[in-house]
Every structure is written in C-alpha cells, then in structure tokens.
Chain A
C-alpha cells in the first residue's frame, strides 16, 4: 500500500533529517544553527500542499527553463522527498524539545567524567531524549499518514487517490469516501497502539 510505504520512508528519512537539524538548532556555532532555523521555519510556516506543488511542478519548470531539457520526477519519489523534508522540520522541533528536557545535570555529570560534548551527547543525552520523544514522534507519524493524502494532487496512487479513481468509475462518492476515511482511521489506531506499546517497553528502566 503506497500510503504506508510513503509514510514509513518519509518518517525514516525525516527522523534522520530532524535529528541533524534539531541538533543543529541547538549548536552554539552560527553556521550550523542558522541554516537549520531557516529550514525549520520555512517548512513549518508554509502549507504542505504548496510544498508539494512547488517541488513537483516548480522545480522541474525551473530546470527546463534553465537548461532547455525537461525533467520528470516520479510522483512517488517526489512524495517521499517532500514528506521527508516536511516531517524533518517537525521532528527537528520534537528532537530539540526532547534534548532540552533532559536535566542539565546529566550533561554536567558526563562532562565532569572527562567526556567531550559529542560523546556525552551520544552516550548520555540522546538515548534518554529518544525515549522521551516516542509519544510526540507517534503523533508525527499519524499526522504524516493523514497528510500523505495531499499527494493525490500530483497523481500519487495513495489511499485517497485510489478512492477518487474508484468514484470516477462508479459515481458512489459517499460510500467510497467513508471507506477511505475508515481505512485511515484503522491505520492511525494501529499506529497509536504500536507507539503505546513501545513506550511501555522502553519506559521500564527509566523511572527516575
């Protein structure tokens, strides 16, 4: 199912992108911090629908104007790229919040043992932060799953688009849209159960 595929890939890449830019936003070095702030603010401050259209139609248009060649991006690939970039910005804020929620005594204790900042981050801060961000990450997963329906506008055959195609053959708008809605509902319920379960599993050692 394309909806699940796009959502999962986007969450995966978004997590990588979000961790990097979330750390970047906390960096003391301006050259790391500013690009991350611009990226996060731009993505969070503009609608996903606009980002999709900009990427799918805008960039190939720019490319053909500049070079004279036409560029056709595969809609699914485009969908994964845009959704990854989009969720990366939201995950960046989640990661930043997670890191900042860790008591600063943890960093002090690690540094007082002679660990450098990078080592302390990797061994002490991030493992604790990742446990804390599982619930908001689950919310982001669910939001992303629902938002992936916007990819219907560039012709990705995800859940909503499949429904629309079915309606164009049968004209049964109400039952099909209801069915589509219920399928999203089932998916989001399953995801939130999985998140709740993994939260319990990881929480075992972390009752301080």
Chain B
C-alpha cells in the first residue's frame, strides 16, 4: 500500500535520512523505534510530504507521490496525521476541530460532518466534550480529539508522530487504547513511538532506525527478544 524506495532527506549539510526502503501493507501496524535524532519523525513526515524528500520515491496506492505533478493535498486527505503536540485549533470547539476539514475539504454538509464528528468523539470517549474549547481539555483528551480529527477525513492510513510523548503518564493508556481499537478495526498505521509495550502488543512489524537508516526490522518478537544487531540490542537495553 505504501512503498518507499531509497529515501534521502537532507536539511542543508545534515543528512537525516540515508536511504530508507520499506513496504507497508494494507491493515499493517508498523511501529518505528529508535534513539532521538535517528530520523524517525522525518521519515514519517515524508510519508505525507510535510517534508519533501531530497531524493527517492514514495508510492501510495500505486501513485508516485514524489512526482512533481502530484496533488499533495489529495495525498494528505488520505493520510491522517497525529502530532506529538496535538496541534488542535485553539479557536475552534472540539466538534469544530473534527468537522472542519470534512466540510471544507471533503465538501460534506454541516449536518453530515457534525454527525460524523459526534460519532468519532463518541468512539474516542469524548462525546460530552463536543462543545468545549481545546484549552479546557487535558493532554490525553486533546490527543484523542486530534485522532478523531484525523479520522474524520476517512484516511487510508494513519501516521502517528510520538503521540504519547507529551502526555502525563496516567493519560497515556487512554490514547493507546484508542489506537489499539483502530488497529483492530484494520486501519493501516505507522507509529513512531517510545511505547515499547504498545509496539510489542499491537505492532505487526517493528522498524528500528538509527542514524538515518533502518538498522533492523521484523516482528515484535524478532526485535525485542532476538535482535540481531548490536545497535538494536544496546538501544533496547537502555530503555527496557
């Protein structure tokens, strides 16, 4: 479903991605782990072209999105993104946050979009918060709204950029539960995370990145219990 071929990304002198190739199948949950600065987030942000790759190809659903003529907005409609710092729109209510893009981009009527937004808020357990502003929500609640907002576009794939890293520990579980439900419902997901428990339990595949390359990949079992590379083992021993 997503095919990445020999992806490079350079910021000025700094080469962040040094040849990433990976295939992601439909309904697969891929967790990306690795030390900070390893290029995990940049890799994820390249998938919906928030960062333009320096070279290499990304093919989503048979369409080469790295071609010059591609409509980037169309690609992004199909790839929902959840950010570390939520990035909810502070001047809009929870409901408006979720319903806005379906109305403006998918051209749904207000009623359809609001119904969809209510359903999604219910799904993430926040139906009672529909009419409050983000400033009145806790971090975990904000992140669940952000997930609902991304889902409202009915994307084909969901990208998560360290979704629980900015949360208080007691909030993490609620967000991970929502993500687990999503995975079980068959959503294709790419998750950059430090939650090894989540990667082990929910991930179909785990990628270990370091210094701009994928050092090792495999099932959670392969990575967490039988890592072949020294770098993987030393990273895991530091955090587990």
Contacts and interface: CB of A to CB of B under 8 A. Distances in A.
A110 B85 CA distance: 14
B91 A131 contact: yes
A205 B94 CA distance: 12
A109 B83 contact: yes
18 contacts: A103-B87, A109-B87, A109-B88, A110-B89, A111-B50, A111-B76, A112-B81, A113-B76, A113-B100, A113-B153, A114-B74, A114-B77, A115-B101, A115-B105, A123-B104, A205-B135, A206-B91, A207-B133
Interface string A96-135: 0000000101101111111110010001100110010000
B100 A114 contact: no
Contacts of B105: 113-115, 119
A198 to B, nearest CB: 15
A170 interface: no
B149 interface: yes
B89 A207 contact: no
Contacts of B73: 111, 114-116
Which 5 A-B residue pairings sit nearest by Cβ, starting from the closest? A114-B77, A109-B87, A113-B101, A112-B81, A208-B90
Given A112-B48, A114-B77, A128 B90 contact: yes
Interface residues of A toward B: which range?
20 to 34
Interface residues of B, number: 27
Contacts of A113: 76-77, 80, 100-101, 105, 149-150, 153
A108 B89 CA distance: 11
Interface string B61-85: 0000000000001101101110101
A114 B101 contact: yes
A106 B101 contact: no
Interface of A: 103, 105-106, 108-116, 119, 123-124, 127-128, 131, 205-208
Nearest to A111: B76
B220 interface: no
Given A109-B88, A112-B50, 16 more contacts: A108-B87, A110-B89, A111-B73, A111-B76, A112-B48, A112-B76, A113-B101, A115-B73, A115-B101, A115-B104, A128-B90, A128-B91, A206-B90, A206-B135, A208-B90, A208-B134
A105 B76 CA distance: 15
A109 B74 CA distance: 15
B80 A112 contact: yes
A208 B135 CA distance: 5
B221 to A, nearest CB: 32
A106 to B, nearest CB: 6
A115 B134 CA distance: 20
A106 B83 CA distance: 10
B104 A119 contact: yes
